């Protein structure tokens, strides 16, 4: 694989990388971890057209998730800061208008870190993961995180989302990815006590949490990297950890089949996807070599493709648009928003 890099922008402590398609246009989003920091979108043939999504009255954004069912609309986390107690973290709703972007607060949820939108039986649900219930300081992990679920009303302008707690006791509740199980969206969550799967029951009226694997799981991604019809897990271990592993399903459990051999520290970003028609994982590390790499499985062996070094991404995203493929890098260490065309 060849990766052609474009430096899109200088963004201090760049934290979020995401995208959304509106008609035939693809919008790449980048936002900062800093308080009072703007978010920008980039579109056009070379992502050269920049727009302000929100002004510098917000910040602390790790995730922007577009609706599958509502054109030009997304949800995002704002004001997530590990160092701030009490937490001001909130979920916000954004939409594209004729004059630009509009953003409105939806609800506050202390230490809301990860979330997603699930479409189940014609209804949209938000699934929210808090990294902790509360924190006395940045290093305080004595209080666990939770998972909450709420149906998203059709009219977010005038109706509220009512959350209910569906899981508790998840210390350092940091890892998350969406998957499919029994024909529905499901969520995989990683924390200090292991890897869990959350699945909707009876159209979202109930939710089932099951433990799949022990371990201190800091991040999680899924892909059928070896093409055997069963998805593998890639993990970062432990929280903000120094190891990246791949697990293969075997005998009703999971067997570790690969460990990234390079010395790493503060691994933070994982994506399960396809590039060049091959299932793969994309990973990013924030310290030491500060690399981005793609992992594939070829001729019975795992193969590492280095995308970039010295950049230290906090988050990554992958775009497939108009026959082209891109990796978005929220390159936190380099204070950079970057895009890599895969050739």
Q: What is the DSSP code string of 86-104?
A: S---EEEEEEEETTEEEEE
- Here the tokens at position 121 are 């039986």
User: Under a CB-based contact definition with an 8 Å cutoff, are residues 40 and 54 in contact?
Assistant: no
Low-confidence stretches of the chain (pLDDT beneath 70):
none
For position 182, what pLDDT does the model report? Answer: 84
Q: Tell me the C-alpha distance between 74 and 93, whole Å.
A: 6
Residue 125 vs residues 42, 154, 229, 309: alpha-carbon distances, Å: 28, 11, 28, 38
Per-residue pLDDT at 252? 86
pTM: 0.96
Q: Is 17 helix (H, G, I), strand (E, B) or coil?
A: strand
């Amino acid at each position: 694989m060849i990766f052609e890099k474009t430096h899109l922008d200088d963004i201090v402590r760049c934290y979020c990388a995401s995208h959304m398609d509106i008609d035939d246009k693809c919008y790449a989003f980048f936002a900062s971890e800093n308080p009072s920091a703007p978010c920008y979108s980039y579109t056009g043939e070379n992502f050269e057209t920049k727009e302000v999504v929100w002004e510098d009255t917000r910040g602390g954004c790790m995730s922007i998730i577009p609706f599958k069912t509502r054109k030009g609309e997304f949800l995002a986390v704002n004001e997530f800061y590990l160092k701030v107690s009490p937490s001001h973290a909130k979920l916000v709703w954004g939409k594209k208008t004729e004059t630009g972007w509009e953003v409105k607060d939806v609800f506050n949820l202390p230490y809301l870190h990860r979330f997603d939108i699930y479409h189940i039986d014609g209804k949209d649900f938000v699934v929210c993961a808090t990294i902790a219930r509360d924190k006395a300081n940045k290093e305080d992990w004595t209080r666990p995180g939770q998972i909450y679920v709420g149906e998203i009303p059709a009219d977010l302008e005038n109706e509220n989302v009512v959350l209910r707690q569906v899981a508790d006791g998840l210390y350092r509740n940091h890892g998350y990815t969406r998957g499919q199980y029994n024909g529905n969206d499901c969520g995989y969550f990683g924390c200090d006590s292991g890897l869990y799967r959350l699945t909707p029951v009876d159209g979202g009226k109930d939710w089932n949490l099951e433990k799949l694997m022990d371990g201190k799981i800091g991040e999680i991604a899924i892909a059928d990297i070896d093409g055997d019809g069963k998805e593998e897990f890639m993990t970062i271990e432990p929280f903000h950890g120094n190891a990246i592993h791949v697990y293969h399903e075997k005998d009703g459990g999971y067997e570790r089949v690969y460990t990234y051999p390079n010395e790493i520290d503060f691994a933070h970003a994982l994506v399960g996807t396809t590039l060049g028609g091959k299932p793969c994982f994309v990973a990013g590390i924030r310290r030491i070599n500060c690399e981005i790499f793609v992992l594939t499985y070829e001729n019975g062996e795992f193969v590492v493709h280095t995308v970039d070094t010295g950049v230290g991404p906090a988050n990554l995203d992958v775009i497939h648009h108009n026959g082209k493929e891109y990796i978005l890098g929220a390159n936190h260490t380099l204070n950079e928003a970057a895009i890599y065309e895969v050739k």
